[in-house]
Amino acid sequence: MNRNRMERWRQASGAAVLLLAGAPALAQGPDVYALRQAAEERARAVEPQVVTWRRDIHQHPELSNREFRTAALVADHLRSLDMEVRTEVAHTGVVATLRGGRPGPVVALRADMDALPVTEMVDLPFASRERAVYNGQEVGVMHACGHDNHVAILMGVADVLASVRDDLPGTVKFIFQPAEEGAPEGERGGAELMLEEGAFENPRPEVIFGLHVGPNRVGQLTYRAGSAMASADWLRIVVRGRQTHGAAPWGGVDPIVVSSQIVLGLQTIASRQLPITLTPSIITIGSIHGGVRGNIIPDEVEMVGTIRTFDAGVRQDIHRRIRRTAEQIAASAGATAEVEITHGYPVTVNDPGLTERMVPTLQRVAGDDPVVVQDLMTVAEDFSYFQHEVPGMFFFLGVTPEDQDPATAPVNHSPLFFADEGALLVGVRALTNLTLDYMTAP
């Protein structure tokens, strides 16, 4: 990022501290001002170390439920800050508790640690050269979704908040989560398992905050109240017909033709059966397998896909319609359809009241850079499990360099995805100030 933009951020952050003394929501005397000022100064001081952490984690990515090195790095850092640290939560997760010197609410902050089975194609001195086995196949490993940034940012936030521990009016739980991208086949993991294993216990947080880097202009903060990211469910349909010669299809029941009709029928659910003014939804068939040669009509065809929705009620309704559509189309041709739907991540819902309360914090952190309302995103996040337990706010941090167009730059999960490190300080300041503002506001 260029020096002028960084200087504008630093000036804005300094001005933000001065504004705090007179902010009505923070009118608790000079202690609040001093706390914010100390935190801002420490955030700037720790920025070089955050960059170092990020590069180290980026160069040594680890797949879901295999984040051993990353977890050890995180745990060692948190112990050095004299926190209560618990490890091996949901396999490799780390949960740490920072108890402030003053009474107040409990705030949770979360970062995900896992990388993806992607071979990096970005020319960096700290590019990943790691290889690993994923579902029985050797693959390259890369932080193609940007979780290396999340971990480094939250490590920096831990440093900042620990530096003001004596004046901190509350408790902070730092949750470093494995397997956000999904546990390996045959395993469990991620946020849901962390909760089952007590990540929110002793003490239980009142709220949780989290962020995700993405293809917006470097340092730009975006958010959305209410439904923000989709639920993600897995769909498998097996259509069974009756095998016969391809030259005499009337001698059997063709499951390939039936499957084709089902694929088209599924698309009418979103376009013709659900009110599009209420909420969007997506049914995608991503894989179809059936048959072994061109002149044999097979016995069966397997289709697999994904279902995305933004409303819990619509989610259940669309499942019912998928079953009805597949089964009845198959029956009309003398075939059968077996429909299997596996629930994945729920809808990511930012608590409207909490979001409205905290948006001014993001605006102050952003300074002159406008904070933007994010469009609905059809990708999914297992941060949603935490939000089912307590009110939560999940927001987005732009990492596209200034010399690139966010509309055309490589996005998350691409082997060419690149995150500008100029956004790291903004992430540290955002999570730090959200925590402090929540603790000190009336």
Question: Which residues are known catalytic residues?
Answer: 345, 421
Residue with tokens 């200087």: 7
R_g (Cα) of the chain, nearest Å = 24
Helix (H), strand (E), coil (C) string for the chain: CCHHHHHHHHHHHHHHHHHHCCCHHHCCCHHHHHHHHHHHHHHHHHHHHHHHHHHHHHHCCCCCCCCHHHHHHHHHHHHHCCCEEEEEECCCEEEEEEECCEEEEEEEEEEECCCECCCCCCCCCCCCCCEEEECCEEEECECCCCHHHHHHHHHHHHHHHHHCHHHCEEEEEEEEECCCCCCCCCCCCHHHHHHHCCCCCCCCCCEEEEEEEEEEECCCEEECCEEEECEEEEEEEEEECECEECCCHHHCECHHHHHHHHHHHHHHHHHHHCCCCCCCEEEEEEEEECCCCCCEECCEEEEEEEEEECCHHHHHHHHHHHHHHHHHHHHHCCCEEEEEEECCCCCEEECHHHHHHHHHHHHHHHCCCCCEECCCECCCCCHHHHHHHCCEEEEEEEEECCCCCCCCCCCCCCCCCCCCHHHHHHHHHHHHHHHHHHHHCC
CA 343 – CA 328 distance, rounded (Å): 23
Contact 422, 228 (CB under 8 A): no
Contact 157, 176 (CB under 8 A): no
In the structure encoding, which two tokens stand for residue 183, read together? 């546990």
CA 217 – CA 209 distance, rounded (Å): 21
Q: Write the Ramachandran bin of 428: left for phi over 0, alpha for psi from -120 to 50, otherwise beta.
A: alpha
Q: Which phi and psi (to 5°) does residue 348 adopt?
A: -85, 110
CA 1 – CA 298 distance, rounded (Å): 57
